[in-house]
């Protein structure tokens, strides 16, 4: 089906993702085409295995369910939700606020997030449309 099929991040290095190149998802085992635009069509876990965007969202939701360690995601442009890189919705933002307290007067956003499992996180980052860090809260605000 594909002239080149990649299975790990190491195999994808120094490879042009154009033409008849595909990847194998380590979660659902589907063979899918790589993206030729801004995204590759896959995400990479810490072990270097490739996962399709749908499986990336499932893995991120599983990680959030543990509610134990900091989590990185993206703030929506409207400031109402957070998502992972592929755009999978992870939670709803509450109490969003921005200040000019960052380095050299840059914007810092602080907010609370209720994830899809109903647990609460406190978040901070560069603002709308940017990456943010969520940390688990012990109780509801």
CB-based contact 75:109 (threshold 8 Å): yes
Residue 137 has pLDDT above 80, yes or no: yes
**Band of pLDDT at residue 139, cut at 50, 70 and 90:** confident
In the predicted model, what is the mean pLDDT of residues 100-115? Answer: 85
pTM score, whole prediction: 0.85
Tens-digit pLDDT profile for residues 53-88: 999 999 999 999 999 999 999 999 999 999 998 999
CB-based contact 92:80 (threshold 8 Å): yes
């Amino acid at each position: 089906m594909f002239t080149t099929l990649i299975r790990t991040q190491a195999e994808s290095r120094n490879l042009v993702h154009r033409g008849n190149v595909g990847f194998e998802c380590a979660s659902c085992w589907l063979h899918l085409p790589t993206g030729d635009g801004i995204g590759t069509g896959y995400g990479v876990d810490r072990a270097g295995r490739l996962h399709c965007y749908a499986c990336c969202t499932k893995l991120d939701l599983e990680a959030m369910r543990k509610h134990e360690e900091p989590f990185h995601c993206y703030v929506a442009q409207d400031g109402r939700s957070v998502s992972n890189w592929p755009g999978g919705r992870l939670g709803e933002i509450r109490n969003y606020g921005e200040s000019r307290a960052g380095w050299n007067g840059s914007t810092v956003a602080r907010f609370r997030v209720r994830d899809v499992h109903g647990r609460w996180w406190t978040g901070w980052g560069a603002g709308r449309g940017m990456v943010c860090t969520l940390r688990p809260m012990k109780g509801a605000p």
